[in-house]
Amino acid sequence: MKEVIFYISLAFSFISTFAQEYDEDPSKRIPDHTDEYRIANLEVNSYDSDFGVTYFEDNKILFSSTRKDSDNSGKKWKGNNQRFLNFYVGETDDLGNVISYESLKGEGNTKFHESNATFNKDHTKVYFTRNNFYESKKGLSKDRKMKLSIYIADVDADGKWHNTVPFPYNSDEYNNGHPTLSLDGKTMYFTSDMPGTIGKTDIFKVEITETGTFTVPENLGGNVNTPGREMFPFIAADGTLYFSSDYHKGKGKLDIFKTDSDELELAAIQNIGEPFNSSRDDFAFVLNDNLLEGYFSSNRPGGRGDDDIYYFVNKNKSKIIKKKEPLPDIPCTNLISGVITDKKDESILENALVEIFDEQGNTVYKVKVGPDGHYEYETPCEKAYTIKASKPLYLDKEITVFATDVLGQEVVANISLVPEITKVNGKIVIDIESIYFDFDDYRITPQAALELDKVIAFMNKYPKVIIEGGSHTDSRGRADYNMQLSEKRAASTVNYIMKNGHFDATRISAHGFGETQLVNNCSDGVRCSDEEHAKNRRTEFVIINADTLEQ
């Protein structure tokens, strides 16, 4: 089955769309009715993408489509080889069918994407999604992409939009879209991947003041938002927030969920189930004010085209939401999670050991991470923990983290471990900072002592290892003198290690290389700075029997 990932504006709302090669096995199809609901695929759906219904005046709806017609016959968008989305106004009958439609007049449509609008109560103002295109100018991000933005327009008595202005928190560098209004019209909810987003896209809200200005966007928090995608918010007439997510537990990719908009931090998140959710993407759910009927969009098998619009009705004529259930007593928890990586090359460290200790030092969690390097631990809110990560041939690392007081918050605690060994010119050496000596000197400096103490710790940790301390000089001075100086430097470092580590003499030896192994071009006759020469005055510790190291 051919699948195309449809990213509106190349970076934001994802809706998986499919070619017209559907699996017609009835057992895999979502039924078009249940004991309570009946759904119907609208005949107005085209071969292309149709979605995002908004109730618009009496017996009219607003929807978006990439269909080809006289008002939308322009160039195609590379994201799915369809035309850009335009708004259409459809007149409906009592059964929710669209009996006629036309392209939206006025300032609503441009040559780029438009979708997902919401109106204030008296339909004098509209908030909608469009590519970042304003006053005939494209807003491009640093990577030359045109993100999605929210725009606001006035609506006149004929339904035409004018006086379009951008939402003040739009940006060239991130996406805003899918606006919806609270029942009193004082709060706008929307989807964004702005800074402060928990996952890939989150739902935010802003307050709309009496003067029409907006407060700073506020993330709805970890109960609603997840590491995945939350989008297409809608506030029903009873105050329920409906939205789509690909991370909350569902039937397929994007599923439709609901929760109480007055208790966003505590209310249970409920999957609304069949026939609304399928194994594919289900989104853009809206209800009429009577709470008995509405529309949603889906790319489930059996549709007319790409994304299709579906009408639904409560067959029993009882409210879809009869009565708000009492809030369950949900304990406040956080999720501590992270990935263990190599600090030097950022690679995943499979089999690294992660231990989490509570404030009394008790081990509450212990695991070896898998190929993805990931660990996670669910904890009560407002707790402090010490996390220790370790792996053979890496330095152990401990960090302290604090669980927040926000229900469902994810506390990300990635840990990078410093490798103890590295490969240099085919040799396995202890990975420490280079040990430098002053010019024409072999005495151990304070900086050198700190690094040599790391060598002592390594030899204590791996008692079978045998190492060779190789010392090098710069090219200044006679070659024979430099060879003698390097031998003295090598002996100096080994003596320090033997004296302070109390090791057997068979475990470490010294070797001077003089100026025979320069690390740059500062050879005889080449003018170099003191800093460049200093890089050649170094000592490295080569592991002779690397096969004895425990991996």
Strand partners of residue 363? 357
* Pairwise CA distance, residues 8 & 354, whole Å: 40
Q: What is the mean pLDDT of residues 254-267?
A: 87
* Pairwise CA distance, residues 363 & 203, whole Å: 36
Q: Which two tokens stand for residue 9?
A: 């504006």
Q: What is the mean pLDDT of residues 297-312?
A: 87
Superfamily of domain 3-314: TolB, C-terminal domain (2.120.10.30)
Strand 415-417 and strand 333-342: the pairing is parallel
Q: Please work out, in degrees rounded to the nearest 5, the angle formed at the alpha carbon of residue 233 by the alpha carbons of 229 and 238.
A: 140
209 has a pLDDT exceeding 50: yes
Q: Which two tokens stand for residue 257?
A: 């969920």
Lowest mean pLDDT among 356-370, 399-413, 451-465: 399-413
* Residue spans in the chain of domains classed CATH 2.60.40.10: 333-417
For the stretch 52-94, pLDDT in tens is: 999 987 789 999 998 887 776 667 666 666 788 889 999 998 8
Are 546 and 428 spatial neighbours (Cβ–Cβ below 8 Å)? Answer: yes
* Residue spans in the chain of domains classed CATH 3.30.1330.60: 421-548
The residues, ordered by sequence, that sit 6+ positions from 281 with a Cβ below 8 Å of its Cβ are 15, 16, 244, 252, 253, 254, 298, 299, 307
For the stretch 121-176, pLDDT in tens is: 888 999 999 988 887 788 888 888 888 999 999 998 888 888 999 999 999 999 99
Among candidate residues 90, 52, 542, 504, the one with its CA nearest the CA of residue 297: 52
- Position 319 scores a pLDDT of 40
The one-letter amino acid code at 393 reads L
Fold type of domain 421-548: 60s Ribosomal Protein L30; Chain: A; (3.30.1330)
Q: What is the mean pLDDT of residues 24-45?
A: 70
Q: What is the mean pLDDT of the chain?
A: 84
pLDDT band at 427 (very low <50, low <70, confident <90, very high): confident
Strand 467-471 and strand 508-512: the pairing is parallel
Q: Is 489 helix (H, G, I), strand (E, B) or coil?
A: helix
Q: Is 425 helix (H, G, I), strand (E, B) or coil?
A: coil
Q: Identify the architecture of domain 333-417 in CATH.
A: Sandwich (2.60)
- Position 321 scores a pLDDT of 38
- Position 27 scores a pLDDT of 45
Strand 114-119 and strand 98-103: the pairing is unpaired
Handedness of CA 290, 182, 15, 46 (dihedral sign): positive
445 has a pLDDT exceeding 80: yes
